[in-house]
Structure 1
Amino acid sequence: MQDTHTAQPLKTRWYDGLTPAHWNVLRGGFLGWIFDGFEALALVVVIAPMLKSLLAPAQLPSLPVYAGLVIGITLLGWGVGGLVGGILADYIGRKRMMLWSVFLYALFSGFTAFSNTFAVLCALRFLTGLAMGSEWSTGVALISETWPERARTKGAGFLQSGFGWGTLLAAVVWYILSSTHPLGAQTWRLMFIVGALPAFFVLYLRKGLSESEKWRQAVKEKRWNATPDPHSASLVSAGDKRPFTLKQLFAEPEALRRTLLTVLLSIITTTGWWAISSWLPTFTVSLAKASGAADAVAWGSRIAIIYTVGAILAYLLSGFIVDAIGRRAFLSLTFAGSLITTVITYRLTHTLGGMVVIAPINGFFTLGCAYAWMAIYPSELFTSSLRSTAISFVFNAARLIAWVFPILSGSMIKTFGGVSQAALIMSSCYVLGIFIPWFLPETQGKGMPD
């Protein structure tokens, strides 16, 4: 069954008809995603001082390898937690899963501040990732299922911008802390203390969010088909016992095709950011030192902020761009832009002035557009009874594969003698992203499948 709200009156503004309930849903998902963004970048910006305080002197020459291991373990936990949480959200509801996700990842983030060995750090990073994995998919599902059609993609883009604002907040907080060093070499621990604050956000979520009626209705009517494809619908008739949602993604031919292709695009996105762009502050610090800048280390935080501003702009504009040019064209241009800007960043940029110019453009594509599509497109490919499972699988299953790439990236940095060479090699994955979208259906103007 297709959404009936696709027809729009002429000259209707996209936000006409949005109620306080709609904005509450956006606000809840947005704030939750801010905390996820903070947590993700906090790990990246403190990785060097954190490991220097935890590793033995003999281990420090291999710091990039240990850094990749910590990031990879976090991604692995994020992938497992997101997959499990997304499935549960299709059975017990989106709101309940969001509550538990936010509370538990805030708790484990706070515990990270007290890590005293590398092994304890890795264990806590896995648990943090495990807890925060499902927050994104529940927020996206709620926006997709509650907002009217003409505003839905914009709302999803705005929600996704929360990650950018969170990473920007992390960059600013670390810039202040790294400039003042209130705890000396142990200042990095304060970043994770700040990361524990979202636990209080659970109190707001309990009162400010309502459950998705679209999901409730689909479950009530026992509509178990995974996609709006007529053949898929005939495979699972209404009234049958509910199939396991994750199994449906692989049991129905059209659902399987859509799942595999979107997961592959998600892997490309995830690999590109964690194994390439997350090294941008480190690369910038090396440029600053080579140029003799007095505050070389601070340049890493500055560029992280500038990079994130570009990503936020992409998030805010993504819904409008997607509706204007279509989903497949948006994806193809996103990965083409990611490839080009990565080459410019790591091959052709040799000065801090050049980095200031290219960093926000790189952020626009590799972090902004490259993640915005996942908040918009997968929701349109699958039905309400397993939408959370589908979008969480697309978003998080990539981490079950891509978690090894930060580890490989760290090893490649050591093997090839620098961040730039490793990043350029890893950027080849973007080539696939340019062509894969054209094998998926175009959903522009077709509405949300019920």
Structure 2
Amino acid sequence: MSTPTPLSPGTPPTTTESAPDDGALGWLRALGPRGRRAFAGAFGGYALDSYDYFTLPLSMVALSAYFGLDSGQTGLFTTVTLVVSAVGGALAGVLADRIGRVRALMITVITYAVFTVACGFAPTYETLLVFRALQGLGFGGEWAVGAILVAEYASAKHRGRTLGAVQSSWAIGWALAALVYTLVFSFLGADLAWRVMFWTGALPALLVIWMRRHVRDAPEAAAVRERSAEKGRFTAIFRPGLLRVTVFASLLSTGVQGGYYTLATWVPTYLKGERGLSVVGTGGYLTFLISGAFTGYLTGGHLTDRLGRRRTVWLFALLSALCILAYAHIPAGSDTLLLVLGFPLGFCMSAIFSGFGAYLSELYPTAVRGTGQGFTYNTGRAVGAVFPTTVGFLADSWGVGGALVFGALGYGIAALALLGLPETRGKDLA
């Protein structure tokens, strides 16, 4: 008689001869039916989160012309989004620990969808800035809550690649936004096109309807959370046993996201403004960048299970910094080289994120997992927002391409932060 294989919460019994974690898609089978529905909800939520986020960077040139903005003012859009997202992420994390992962996830999706649509109706720069800030409330919480939901279903063996697959949905949302941008700005005048881009942000409402009917929290993790006296207590992540983790995890998030959002915010402007590419040309270059990102998310997820969380982040922090320096110093007229380097740039700056969902989930106990992950990841977003804003102000004197090198500093901060964090590969979250 065969011996039962250890399973993740919600996975039906099986035997060693038909172990659910065998094969290329074993990580998906190991989730079980309920876990796969949770995966689909988190995957879709993060893809649409990405789509709604990129409606702004892709429309930046049109917005600048419409409202008569300088580089500093346009950079402020990203800053307020990311700063407010820290508040939204912290609140969503506490909610996830108190009312459950799925309910908190639906709240975040509805929030970012409503205020993305509202941006399309903004009559002034100031109004748009306020709506974008409010969009950040939902944007900040979605990833952290969705990642925890899936992490608590995933097996320890496959948690890195499972969360890496969730992370890859960011590239899909980015690609969808780039496609819609190319179509909308090709057929409509720029003054209307940027509004239409924001109006398409209503799509996530359909996902919420499906999630409400089909997605549930992982039973074992939910039971542990309900029994805890510290459930959703914000101060718990600053007590002696967790204070060091909270500080260094926040620094890690700051460095990685400072580098990433510098690129995500300014590469479209760099390609169109300084390289003189058309809308279609910019879309073509972004195709290489985004395809590299998608491949990077999946590859990074596998590596974080094989090499460990810390080694994978160290590797891609170094490679991302080198790619930024190379990309920003391509000689004028070398458009083919610009195109080719877009793939490794997207690959490295995305692969470093693949282990984040697993790593941050494993650093905190079940009762405050949402609180800890929501706070550290989104504090990184808020402080990391200084990077794209600094690039915006430096761009007037250095040029966008020259100022992009500031993003490499973020990856150096991330590498140093790992010195204060433990390796968690293989940890059981139940």
TM-score (norm 2): 0.90
Say if 1:110 and 1:195, in contact at 8 Å, map to a contact too: yes
Query: 1:72 Cα shift?
Result: 0.7
Instruction: Show the 5 A alignment for 1:370-449.
Output: 370-414=352-396, 416-445=397-426, 447-449=427-429
Residues 35 and 157 of structure 1: is their aligned pair in 2 closer, same or farther, counting only changes over 3 Å? same
Work out whether residues 379 and 448 of structure 1, in 8 Å CA contact, stay in contact via their aligned partners in 2: no
Q: Retained in 1: the 8 A contact 2:37–2:215?
A: yes
How far apart, CA to CA, are the structure 1 residues paired with 2:381 and 2:31? 35
Q: Is the 8 A contact 1:24 1:209 kept in 2?
A: yes
Within 2, Cα distance between the matches of 1:45 and 1:213? 41
Partner of residue 347 from structure 2, selected from 364, 374, 389 = 364
User: Which digits, 9 at most, give the CA deviation of each residue in 1:359-406, with x for residues without a partner?
Assistant: 11111112x123222212111111111111111112111123223332
Residues 421, 288 of structure 1: CA spacing in aligned structure 2 closer, same or farther, 3 A cutoff? closer
Mind listing any 5+ residue stretches in structure 2 that lack a counterpart? 1-5, 9-14
Matched, 1:142 2:149: yes
Question: 1:127 is aligned with what amino acid?
Answer: L
Q: 1:279 aligns with which of 256, 260, 266?
A: 266
Match of 1:328 among 284, 301, 310: 310
What CA distance in whole angstroms lies between the structure 2 residues aligned with 1:35 and 1:392? 19
Deviations 1:187-212 (A, max 9, x none): 11111111112112211010120123
Between the aligned partners of 1:18 and 1:296, the Cα distance in structure 2 is: 44
CA deviation after TM superposition for structure 1 residue 34, in Å: 0.8
User: Offset at 1:85?
Assistant: 1.0
Q: Describe how 1:4-83 pairs up with structure 2 within 5 A.
A: 12-13=22-23, 14-15=26-27, 16-55=29-68, 60=69, 63-83=70-90
Residue 35 of structure 2 contacts residue 218 of structure 2 at CA under 8 Å; is this kept in 1? no
2:12 aligns with: none
Aligned to 2:278: 296
* In 2: Cα distance, 1:209 partner to 1:349 partner: 50
Distance 1:429 1:205 in 2: 36
Asked if the contact 2:47–2:172 (Cα under 8 Å) also holds between the matched residues in 1, the reply is yes
Query: Alignment partner for residue 245 of structure 1, among 192, 212, 233?
Result: 233
Aligned residue type for 2:90: L
Q: Is the 8 A contact 2:98 2:231 kept in 1?
A: no
The answer on whether the counterparts of 2:50 and 2:173 sit within 8 Å (CA) in structure 1 is yes
Alignment equivalent of 1:196, drawn from 197, 202, 205: 202
Question: 1:312 Cα deviation (Å)?
Answer: 0.7
8 Å CA contact 2:161–2:304 kept in 1: the answer is no
CA distance in 1, matches of 2:286, 2:265: 9
**Native 8 Å contact 2:152 2:429 kept in 1:** no
Q: 1:129-186 CA distances to partner (integer Å, 9 max, x unpaired)?
A: 11232111111111111123333222211111111100111011101112222x4422
Deviation at 1:244, TM superposition (A): 5.7
After superposition, the CA RMSD in angstroms is 2.1
Counterpart secondary structure, 1:400: helix
SS at match of 1:134: helix
Distance in 2, Cα, partners of 1:65 & 1:155: 38
**Alpha-carbon deviation of 1:441?**
1.2
Number of the residue aligned with 2:134: 127
- 1:343 to 1:277, Cα distance in 2 relative to 1, 3 A: farther
Q: 1:440 to 1:169 in 2, by over 3 A?
A: same
Q: Post-superposition shift, 1:271?
A: 0.9
TM-aligned CA deviation for residue 246 of structure 1: 2.2
Aligned residues: 412
Distance in 2 between the 1:194 and 1:78 partners? 21
Opposite residue 311 of structure 1, the aligned amino acid is: A
Which residue of the partner structure matches residue 354 of structure 1? 337
- Output the amino acid matched with 1:428: L
Give 5+ residue unaligned stretches, structure 1. 223-240, 290-294
For the 8 Å contact 1:94–1:141, the answer to whether it is kept is yes
* Contact 1:281–1:299 (8 Å) recurs in 2: no
Q: Note the 1:302-321 alignment, pairs <5 A.
A: 302-321=284-303
Per-residue deviation, residues 336-359 of structure 1 (Å, max 9, x unmatched): 011110011001354210111111
Question: Post-superposition shift, 1:243?
Answer: 6.9
1:118 deviates by: 0.4
Give 1:317 shift: 2.0
Distance 1:276 1:19 in 2: 37
Normalization by structure 1: what TM-score? 0.86
Native 8 Å contact 2:113 2:204 kept in 1? yes
Check the 8 A contact 2:259/2:387 in 1, yes or no: no
Match of 1:292 in 2: none
